[in-house]
Amino acid sequence: MVHGSGGEPSWPAAQREQIAAVQPEVQEAAQRFQIDPGLVNGIIWVESKFNARARGPGGTQGLMQLMPATARELAKSLGERPRPYDPGFNIRAGSLYLSRMIKRFGDVKLGLAAYHGGPGHVLKWQKAGKRGIPDGSKKYVEKVFAARDRF
């Protein structure tokens, strides 16, 4: 889970502790929403480096960097109150959102692109007759897949 291909730890000690601390929530959310737990970990790594208090320049919050309005909407779907800096809530909400994007677009890579840039970003790309991953999300998708492969 948090080891390199040779069996040796691939993360600094402090990072391994942060990663290990949220694995029960990652596993539970991944199972609940039928997504790859490595993908959830990959998103968390790319979005926040497992810093539960992370804030993005555009107003995103927490481990999976949710926008406040998105977190509120997801909280309603989960029957919870929005707590973007609570690791459990953030992982459940982010995993639900990712699951919805993958189902909506029928593809993990397009789902990741929608997670990153919003579903409108992907729809606009598709309506323009373009195929594959939208330009603004290609590097993001590659980073998430590379991080996923480390878990």
State what percent of residues in the chain have pLDDT above 70: 94
The answer for residues whose C-beta is within 8 angstroms of residue 132's C-beta and 6 or more apart is none
Confidence of residue 14 (pLDDT cuts 50, 70, 90): confident
- pLDDT interval class at 140 (50, 70, 90): very high
- Tokens 């309506």 belong to residue: 127
CA torsion 55-61-66-67 (nearest 10°) is: -80
Active site residue 47: yes
6 in a domain, yes or no? no
Write down the H helix ranges in 106-148.
108-117, 119-127, 138-148
Q: Is 61 in contact with 39 (CB distance < 8 Å)?
A: no
- Do the Cβ atoms of 109 and 125 come closer than 8 Å? no
Residue found by looking up tokens 């994007």 in the block: 101
Rounded Cα distance between 127 and 122, Å, is 9
- The whole-chain average pLDDT of the chain stands at 92
Residue 74 lies in a domain: yes
pLDDT tens for residues 59-103?
Answer: 999 999 999 999 999 999 999 999 999 999 999 999 999 999 999
| Residue 21 domain flag | yes
Residue 116 in domain: yes
- Rounded to an integer, the average pLDDT of 115-123 is 94
Tokens 């992982």 belong to 91
Tell me the C-alpha distance between 54 and 80, whole Å. 21
Q: Which of 47, 73, 80, 142 is catalytic?
A: 47
**Which CATH number belongs to the domain containing residue 57 in this structure?**
1.10.530.10
In a domain, 109, yes or no: yes
Range of the domain at 140: 13-148
What whole-number distance in Å separates Cα of residue 12 and Cα of residue 134? 33
Q: Are 122 and 132 in contact (CB under 8 A)?
A: no
Say if residue 132's pLDDT is above 70. Answer: yes
Q: What pLDDT does 4 receive?
A: 43
Q: Does residue 5 sit within a domain? A: no
Count the domains in the chain: 1
Q: 53 in a domain, yes or no?
A: yes
